Amino acid sequence: MTLVRLRLPLVVAVAFILQQALLSNLQVAGAQPEILFLVVILVAMEAGPAKGAVVGFAVGLLIDLFVQTPFGLTALTLTLIGYGTGLAWEAVVDVGRWLMPAAAAVGSAGAVVLYAVLDALLGNPAALHRGLVPIVVMVGVVNGILAVPGAPVMRWALGRGARAPVPPGSAVGASRWGQGAGVSRQGVGR
């Protein structure tokens, strides 16, 4: 039980180290992947908007510690993205195989745009520059692809085993996040 709770921080830590030490050096057209955005989006899809927002805030603060952009901006962006993704995913009725990576791609690309827009609104118009286009494309595509292997990892991290995700929108789905980490809810109503 306690060990299960440590899985998510472990996944975040590994993703963070990969991002900082490896992905920051793999740049194409001035853009690099942002796998921590993907972590937040997958949490939101698996565990709902509340947990998505909390994990988004925490991951955002962690990122903010290591960058020189306005402190708290990543936290704000990822809080909104975590909540929005969780909410949107719950409203989805039919989960096709392609929908999850597509949604992860759209959510990640949206996070980049939201960040730049917020930064510009807060008085840095240079944030909306031409170089943003390859960044949006790169982050969206890479996260969409990585969402496929990422989803089972996230289910493991949240203590949900490797079974198929609960259909969103159902009564069980709606109350998934009502029980904290959702660990004890496994199998309820099935």
Q: How far is the CB of 2 from other proteins (least distance, A)?
A: 23
Q: How far is the CB of 31 from other proteins (least distance, A)?
A: 6
Decide whether 97 or 130 has the Cβ nearer to other proteins: 130
Rounded Cα distance between 97 and 20, Å, is: 31
Decide whether 3 or 65 has the Cβ nearer to other proteins: 65
Rounded Cα distance between 162 and 77, Å, is: 29
Residues with Cβ within 8 Å of residue 13, at least 6 apart in sequence = none
Q: How far is the CB of 106 from other proteins (least distance, A)?
A: 17
**Quick one: residue 31, left, alpha or beta (phi over 0 = left, psi -120 to 50 = alpha)?**
beta
Q: How far is the CB of 190 from other proteins (least distance, A)?
A: 17
Helices (H), the chain: 2-17, 35-66, 73-91, 99-121, 132-157, 171-174
Decide whether 101 or 140 has the Cβ nearer to other proteins: 140
Q: How far is the CB of 156 from other proteins (least distance, A)?
A: 23
Q: How far is the CB of 17 from other proteins (least distance, A)?
A: 6
- CB atoms inside a 10 Å sphere around CB 54: 18
Alpha-carbon Rg of the chain, whole angstroms?
A: 16
Decide whether 38 or 73 has the Cβ nearer to other proteins: 73
Decide whether 58 or 103 has the Cβ nearer to other proteins: 58
Residues with Cβ within 8 Å of residue 9, at least 6 apart in sequence = none
In the complex, which residues of this chain contact other proteins (CB under 8 A)? 17, 19-22, 24-27, 29-32, 34, 48-50, 53-54, 56-57, 60-61, 63, 65-76, 79-80, 83, 86-87, 112, 115-116, 119, 122, 124, 126-127, 129-132, 135, 139, 174-175, 177-178
Residues with Cβ within 8 Å of residue 139, at least 6 apart in sequence = 31, 33, 34, 37, 108, 109, 111, 112
Decide whether 2 or 25 has the Cβ nearer to other proteins: 25
